[in-house]
Amino acid sequence: MSNRNIKVVRVTKDDYDQVCAITPPGQIYSGTDYLPDYFHMLLDMSNVEAYAAVVDGKFASFFLSFVVDNGRTVVTRAGRTNKEYAGMGLQDVMRRNTIKDRKYDKMAATSGAHVKAILDQIKSGKREKILMMEFRSYITSGDQLKSILNTIGNTTPSSAKPIDAIELGDILTNQQVSCHLFPESRVIVDWVPYRLIKSNAFLIKTIRTTVIGSNLENGTRILTFGNYFNTTAGLVCNIEVYGCIGETLAEHLYLHLRELISHEISGKVIIRCFYRQETKSNFITKLMNRFGLDITEIWGTGLVCTETTPEIYFR
């Protein structure tokens, strides 16, 4: 490593092709890599920092972080290293660059619960496990999804309604509501963990995010988040479910899927539904089947959120 010329540079939108060339998108997350479609949106966000490690003049590694929780937490949002440069520690070089001269209380990340490197860091005490969620993946074609939704028609949900960023901020900070929805005092949306802070609502609600709420004032309260992106495997939509999972969830799925088909779809549609570990996944699968979505497995069935401090991580 000492013999290589390594330079860390701030990534801009003009670097899109060089970043995407680091690792072919089809080789990441079983073809469901979000970065090519999210890249420009992420770089437009004020809480995002992105860097590349340039080795001997070539983009070798990429690291992108979110700053959340009123500036207290830096979250690893995206990272990749070309295989030719594996083992050089380039991710940590960029991670150190990100936190240099900053006073972050915590460093957080989410990952597939099957990723050995993360599990090893938890076991060694380098990271603390904060929250785990299960997910299941479902697949259909865009044409079939449109056909089924058009057959159902423009159903008017009895309780489900869209939630804007202002109302979401009120939900996050309403202890009587949030303690039921988020008992670990965290909400994970689109793989990013957030504390229950009002300002986070405006980071959660991106141009790709749909938030649906039902019965938020009673014991059957439920809140769901949907985000979509195009990948080599098809159009992927992440849907996180918090609260009481019952028949009302069908209304939420209907609204999220309606939003999805309002965009151009060609090829496959993959829905990843995330939920608390104690949830019976068979119930969610039956609801997905109503919309013509069949269960499949693409890159695991669980995620883990971890947290540490800069001092512990770089000890």
CATH number at 16 reads: 3.40.630.30
**Same domain as 151, residue 236:** yes
**Same domain as 44, residue 171:** no
- Helix segments in the chain, DSSP class H: 16-20, 35-43, 90-99, 116-124, 142-152, 165-173, 175-181, 201-204, 248-261, 281-290, 310-313
Q: How many domains does the chain have?
A: 2
CA pair distance 164, 81, nearest whole angstrom: 37
CA pair distance 172, 91, nearest whole angstrom: 32
pLDDT tens-digit readout, 259-293: 999 988 889 999 999 999 888 899 999 999 999 99
Q: Does the pLDDT at position 217 exceed 90?
A: no
- Residue 2's pLDDT is 54
pLDDT band for position 153 (50/70/90)? confident
- Residue 300's pLDDT is 92
**Same domain as 234, residue 93:** no
- Residue 159's pLDDT is 85
Write the single-letter amino acid at 80.
R
What's the whole-number mean pLDDT along residues 105-127?
Answer: 94
pLDDT band for position 219 (50/70/90)? confident
**Same domain as 219, residue 89:** no
Report if residue 1 sits inside a domain: no
Report if residue 56 sits inside a domain: yes
CA pair distance 91, 93, nearest whole angstrom: 5
pLDDT band for position 218 (50/70/90)? confident
**Residue 22 lies in domain:** 6-104
Average pLDDT taken over every residue of the chain: 94
| 8-state DSSP, 293 | P
Query: CB of 127 within 8 A of CB of 306?
Result: yes
Q: Does the pLDDT at position 161 exceed 80?
A: yes
CA pair distance 278, 283, nearest whole angstrom: 12
- Residue 266's pLDDT is 81
What's the whole-number mean pLDDT along residues 225-238?
Answer: 96
Percent of the chain predicted with pLDDT > 70: 98
Cβ neighbourhood burial of 175 (10 Å; 0-12, 13-18, 19+) = exposed
CA pair distance 189, 191, nearest whole angstrom: 5
Q: Which run of H or E residues covers position 8?
A: strand 6-10
Beta bridge partners of residue 264, listed in sequence order: none
**Same domain as 293, residue 162:** yes
Helix pair angle (281-290, 248-261), 10° resolution? 50
**Same domain as 270, residue 137:** yes
Percent of the chain predicted with pLDDT > 90: 89
Query: CB of 20 within 8 A of CB of 33?
Result: no
**Same domain as 156, residue 53:** no
**Same domain as 97, residue 138:** no
Q: How crowded is residue 144: how many other Cβ atoms within 10 Å of its Cβ?
A: 14
**Same domain as 153, residue 100:** no
**Same domain as 71, residue 184:** no
**Same domain as 295, residue 172:** yes
Q: Does the pLDDT at position 156 exceed 80?
A: no
Residue 272 CB contacts under 8 Å (≥ 6 apart), including other chains: 135, 136, 137, 138, 236, 237, 238, 239, 298
Query: CB of 290 within 8 A of CB of 250?
Result: yes
pLDDT band for position 101 (50/70/90)? confident
pTM: predicted TM-score of the whole model, two decimal places: 0.95
